[in-house]
Amino acid sequence: MTTALPSSVSIREVGPRDGLQSENPIAVADKVRLINALSRTGLSRVEAVAFVHPRAIPQMANADEVWEAVDRNPDVRYSALVPNLKGADRALKAGFTELEVVVSASDTHNRKNINRSTDESLDALGELIATVHDGGATAEVIVATSFGCPYEGDIAASRVAWVVDRAVAAGADRVAFGDTTGMGTPRRVRELLEAVRASQPDIPILLHFHNTRGTALANVLTALEYGVTEFDASVGGLGGCPYAPGASGNLATEELVHMLHDMGIDTGVDLDALLEVAVMAEGLVGRELPSGVLRAGPRTRLTPL
């Protein structure tokens, strides 16, 4: 193969938000400890909190308090997820300069989540993003169920591209594609990237994979071959899939870092430091996390004779 892969990749650590959102709630001080520890591993980005209603997602309560207490590392870009205008206002007031908003490519999934069609969510994006921009922040649109929907099945890549076109028209600075229930495969990654790039050659793209069916790193490899250099991952694989006990959820950050480093692709992350945080994360949520590199150690860790 002569495909030239990128020489470096930017990882956004989503354990504190996307990960913890699917675990049993933990204390504010523990969330702060986790974010602080992650911020010292060389990770360039951390998704820190979500400004959602605590009744909707109790795990994300006290976002203001968490963020206030974090030792903010000037070398790390922090982001917050917001579901609506009210959340955006709170995030801006708290001082975040990178906000994320989710729209599902699957109409059924979007309705199940927020009782709105995808089209209605897209209609509301313009005002939301304008508010974010007015507040001096950037807006990333995360397209959920981009590689398949658990209710509808396959989602056509042309549908995802249509959502992206609408998001860009509404002012999105970046787009992310979420493999919400781990339905992504190399073929789906290829089809999506080709469809989106055909109409939006320049919008920054980030990919978010789950390892539910073992394909996360194969999907990453495919995306690298298309020049994608931004990926989400979750320390230890935090964020189990609540309705499929035992199934792994988010791609573990250390599995991503481990493969990329062996391929000579820089991430800036100190893998040993990250593994220590993964051990801490297991303690915080009180369960064994699914990360294989955490269990077995990196391939460079030799067995004594």
Instruction: Pick from 22, 118, 180, 212 the residue near its own copies by CB under 8 A.
Output: 212
Q: Binding residues for its own copies, how many (CB under 8 A)? A: 57
Instruction: Pick from 75, 127, 134, 295 the residue near its own copies by CB under 8 A.
Output: 295
Q: Which range in 14-22, 127-135, 237-245, 276-284 contacts its own copies by CB under 8 A? A: 237-245
Instruction: Pick from 190, 268, 270, 280 the residue near its own copies by CB under 8 A.
Output: 190
- Which one of the listed residues 34, 38, 183, 241 is annotated catalytic? 241
CA proximity to 249, closest of 257, 239, 258:
239
CB 35 within 8 A of CB 74: no
Task: Confirm or reject binding of residue 263 to its own copies (CB under 8 A).
Answer: yes
Whose Cβ is closer to its own copies: residue 53's or residue 287's? 287
Whose Cβ is closer to its own copies: residue 99's or residue 277's? 277
Task: Confirm or reject binding of residue 243 to its own copies (CB under 8 A).
Answer: yes
- Residue 197 Cβ vs its own copies, minimum distance, rounded to whole Å: 12
Spatial CB neighbours of 169, under 8 Å, sequence gap ≥ 6: none
3 state SS for the chain:
CCCCCCCECEEEECHHHHHHHHCCCCCHHHHHHHHHHHHCCCCCEEEEEECCCCCCCHHHCCHHHHHHHCCCCCCCEEEEECCCHHHHHHHHHHCCCEEEEEEECCHHHHHHHHCCCHHHHHHHHHHHHHHHHHCCCEEEEEEECCCCECCCECCCHHHHHHHHHHHHHCCCCEEEEECCCCCCCHHHHHHHHHHHHHHCCCCCEEEECECCCCCHHHHHHHHHHCCCCEEEEEHHHCCCCCCCCCCCCECEHHHHHHHHHHCCCECCCCHHHHHHHHHHHHHHHCCCCCCHHHHHCCCCCCCCC
Active site residue 241: yes
Whose Cβ is closer to its own copies: residue 171's or residue 292's? 292
**How many of the other CB atoms lie within 10 Å of CB of 129?**
23
Per-residue mark of binding to its own copies, 110-149 (x: CB under 8 A): --x-----------------------------------x-
Whose Cβ is closer to its own copies: residue 19's or residue 182's? 182
Whose Cβ is closer to its own copies: residue 32's or residue 274's? 274
Whose Cβ is closer to its own copies: residue 69's or residue 259's? 259
- Residue 237 Cβ vs its own copies, minimum distance, rounded to whole Å: 9
Q: Which range in 49-57, 69-77, 99-107, 216-224 contacts its own copies by CB under 8 A? A: 216-224
Task: Confirm or reject binding of residue 188 to its own copies (CB under 8 A).
Answer: yes
Interface positions with its own copies (CB under 8 A): 1, 3, 108, 112, 148, 150-153, 181-183, 185-188, 190, 211-218, 220-222, 225-226, 241, 243-248, 251-252, 255, 258-259, 262-264, 288, 291-293, 295-296, 298-300, 302-303, 305
Instruction: Write out the catalytic residue numbers.
Output: 241
